[in-house]
Amino acid sequence: MRNRVAIILFLILPKWAAAQSSEQADTLKTQELEEVIVTATRNERTVGALPMPVTLVKKELIKSMGSVRLNDVLTEQTGLVMVPQVNGQGNGVQLQGFNPDYTLILIDGEPIIGRYTGSLELSRLAVGNIKQVEIVKGPSSSLYGSEALAGVINIITERPTTNQGNASLRYGTNNSLDLNANGSFIFKRLGIYAFANRYSTDGYDLSPQNFGKTVSPFYNYTFNTKVTYQLSDKTDITLSGRYFTEEQDFNFDVLNANKVSFRSYGKGNVRDWNINPVITHRFNSRLKAIGRFYTTDYKTSTDLRRLSDDSLTYHDDFHQTFTRGELNGEYYFNDQYITTIGVGQIQEGVQTSRYRDESTRNQQTRYAFLQQEINPYPALNIVAGIRYDYNSIYGDQLSPKFSARYEFSKRFVLKGSLGIGFKAPDFRQLYFNFTNSAAGGYSVLGTEIVKERLSQLQALGQIQSYVYDPAKIGKLEAERSFSINLGARIEPLAKLVVDINLFRNKVDNLIEDQIVATTTSNQSIYSYRNIRKAVMQGVETTLSYPLNKEVSFSLGYQLLYAKDTDVEDAVDRGEVFWRNPETLETRRLKSNEYFGLYNRSRHTGNFKIFYHNIEKGVEATFRVIYRGPFGIGDIRGNIQGEEIPQADKNNNSILDVYDDFVKGYFLTNISMAYHFNKKCRMQIGIDNLFNYTDPVYIPNLPGQLSYINLNYKL
């Protein structure tokens, strides 16, 4: 929502971008081996026994880092890069080189909706109610279906445990105020957990020479509750719900592509809620069944008015619903064989002003999955799964996955997994109906409506020419990836743990916007097509070393090569050239001179030191995050109307080593906390200590932020 405004000017063509990967032991808690996650297999499994790359971030760590929103947490994890949306704003997560659209984000196993521009705005999620964040890298479509192509991030929220309460206040730079209250209450078989958060900020301004802020002031509320009830020894029910609302005040100059600006003001709203009842029944010690129902609703709207005459210059609204019922069962034959099965149905709907009418577009998905865990002997774990999805629009998808882990010794473990992931065409790609009257008057039409619109325009004699085979216009399939992850966990010295994961994702059918026709007034009509192929591969490694009970170090690094396969082939065939912008000489591009996709850094990494002395009640952290150089392309100006120079400096429209790169940068975050007693904790910290900013290329990176955080435990 922070990003809304630039949409007006520079339409959002869903450029598929990407992200990265990491596998990392919780640095604070390496000594605790019994860390349990549910995301990887849908059942509780210890992290160490899983054959796929997983990262677990626990509440204690989140608190030590002083994080407020989910993006603060994820940005510090190896292999995860926070990237803005196509308009240069907001925070989505890039994982193993994939754009934010390709990572499924769940709360307690249920998807968060509101991918208004493809990526999910992670700052929508407060962290105060989070018990742990589980990150599974590599495709998990075999369990979760669409979107789980790059990986899955599952936010596990708190459950009622004991009678307790907690209140906290955090105040920091930009007049940012974060208020939290939560409580848990147990009465016999009933448990209640409740959480409330209010976050407000004045936003920030990276380009003071322009009127208006880079991020406009906003405030939001998050409410979350979870009620558990033990019906019998064998049956539990859980009912959880979430409500979120945000309002943002805009004041800025709207600048269109032809550099004509006018002062405007307005408001943006976001609201989402969900309800999630779950019933668990254990028939006997072997068979467990879970019934889940989930319904969620996301709404956002923006209004902008011209300051001079209060006339409405822009209105945009978007409303999405998602409802799912699922039944799954888990059967323990014995310790060696565990079977999980599930069936479910999803109903989704979208209504938006961007489709030029108020009707709701619906689609249904039905699915079934089967997973078999086989542990023939203690050193070997195998997880094999397959899922079938049938969708009313894009048809069926079969997503298998196979993972295995072999423990040669306690100090040397090998892991590997193979899988297919998919991402369905989103509503925008199907139904978008948008004409940008400000910037050149181009139109973007989703594949379900493009044929009809083109024939209407044809009948009116407004089509000048088709620039894409009309027979191919209007057909869209799911994007698919075949992925391999190969990893090892090595303990070369006592307590020194090295995790290495090699990954390779071969992606097909990538959806891209494509000009399909031009009108008689020379305006372009875009639609979508499955055209591109890409390979995203690299290696991720984490080294963690707990020096003693108090101090632990960790070092994370990811090397990434993300390349468009067709471009790579064309370069290999010698069909790609570059023109030296100074000498104007043209040369053939060599294979090793093609850098790859935009917005991907070849090198990313982090270095962290955590100190925690429980006796003295002192915590301290020092974290450095590095993002290497990357190229910018396909971003349509930033929110303050600054034109973003393209990376391509040498007339070949691809990113090669002679192009302009956004400089690599380090972010340093520090924090310290002191526990006065069991009840009171005070934390101070500074994020982005050296105040690194880049107003043009990285508008989603605020400058230095200092804060103080007071916490009181009832």
How many residues touch other proteins under the rule CB under 8 A: the total is 48
> Which of 452, 566, 575, 694 lies at the binding interface for other proteins (CB under 8 A)?
575
What distance in Å separates the CA atoms of residue 542 and residue 557, rounded to the nearest whole number? 6
507 token code pair: 């992606």
Stretch that binds other proteins, among 73-81, 203-211, 518-526, 534-542 (CB under 8 A): 518-526
> Which of 284, 334, 409, 522 lies at the binding interface for other proteins (CB under 8 A)?
522
Least Å distance, CB 521 to other proteins, is 7
> Which of 31, 175, 364, 586 lies at the binding interface for other proteins (CB under 8 A)?
586
Nearest CB to other proteins, comparing residues 51 and 633: 633
Least Å distance, CB 570 to other proteins, is 10
> Which of 311, 645, 708, 710 lies at the binding interface for other proteins (CB under 8 A)?
645
Do 238 and 251 touch, CB atoms closer than 8 A? no
Least Å distance, CB 263 to other proteins, is 16
520 in contact with other proteins (CB under 8 A): no
Of 106, 79, 103, 75, whose CA–CA distance to 17 is shortest?
A: 103
Nearest CB to other proteins, comparing residues 648 and 687: 648
653 in contact with other proteins (CB under 8 A): yes
414 token code pair: 């090998």
Q: Hey, is 432 helix, strand or coil? A: coil
What distance in Å separates the CA atoms of residue 156 and residue 158, rounded to the nearest whole number? 7
Q: 437: which residues sit within 8 A by CB, 6+ positions away? A: none
Least Å distance, CB 444 to other proteins, is 10
What distance in Å separates the CA atoms of residue 272 and residue 243, rounded to the nearest whole number? 6
Nearest CB to other proteins, comparing residues 163 and 651: 651
Least Å distance, CB 567 to other proteins, is 13
571 in contact with other proteins (CB under 8 A): no
Do 14 and 428 touch, CB atoms closer than 8 A? yes
How many residues are recorded in the chain? 714
Stretch that binds other proteins, among 235-243, 301-309, 447-455, 630-638 (CB under 8 A): 630-638
440 Rama sector, left if φ>0, alpha if ψ -120 to 50, beta otherwise: left
Interface mask toward other proteins for 473-502; x: CB under 8 A: ------------------------------
| The 3-state secondary structure of 36-78, one letter per residue | EECCCCCCCEEHHHCCCCEEEEEHHHHHHHCCCEHHHHHCCCC
524 in contact with other proteins (CB under 8 A): yes
Of 599, 546, 608, 538, whose CA–CA distance to 73 is shortest?
A: 608
417 in contact with other proteins (CB under 8 A): no
Stretch that binds other proteins, among 204-212, 336-344, 574-582, 699-707 (CB under 8 A): 574-582
DSSP 96: B
Burial of 366 (0-12, 13-18, 19+ CB in 10 A): middle
What distance in Å separates the CA atoms of residue 49 and residue 378, rounded to the nearest whole number? 10
Stretch that binds other proteins, among 148-156, 330-338, 634-642, 661-669 (CB under 8 A): 634-642
Residues 225-264 that bind other proteins (CB under 8 A): 256-260
180 token code pair: 């939290």
582 in contact with other proteins (CB under 8 A): yes
Of 226, 217, 244, 249, whose CA–CA distance to 125 is shortest?
A: 244
Burial of 585 (0-12, 13-18, 19+ CB in 10 A): exposed
209 in contact with other proteins (CB under 8 A): no
> Which of 422, 442, 595, 707 lies at the binding interface for other proteins (CB under 8 A)?
442
3 in contact with other proteins (CB under 8 A): no
650 in contact with other proteins (CB under 8 A): yes
Give the type of residue at 632. Answer: I
Contact set with other proteins (CB under 8 A): 10, 13, 256-260, 437-442, 464-465, 467, 515, 518, 521-524, 575-579, 581-582, 584, 586-588, 633-637, 643-646, 648-653
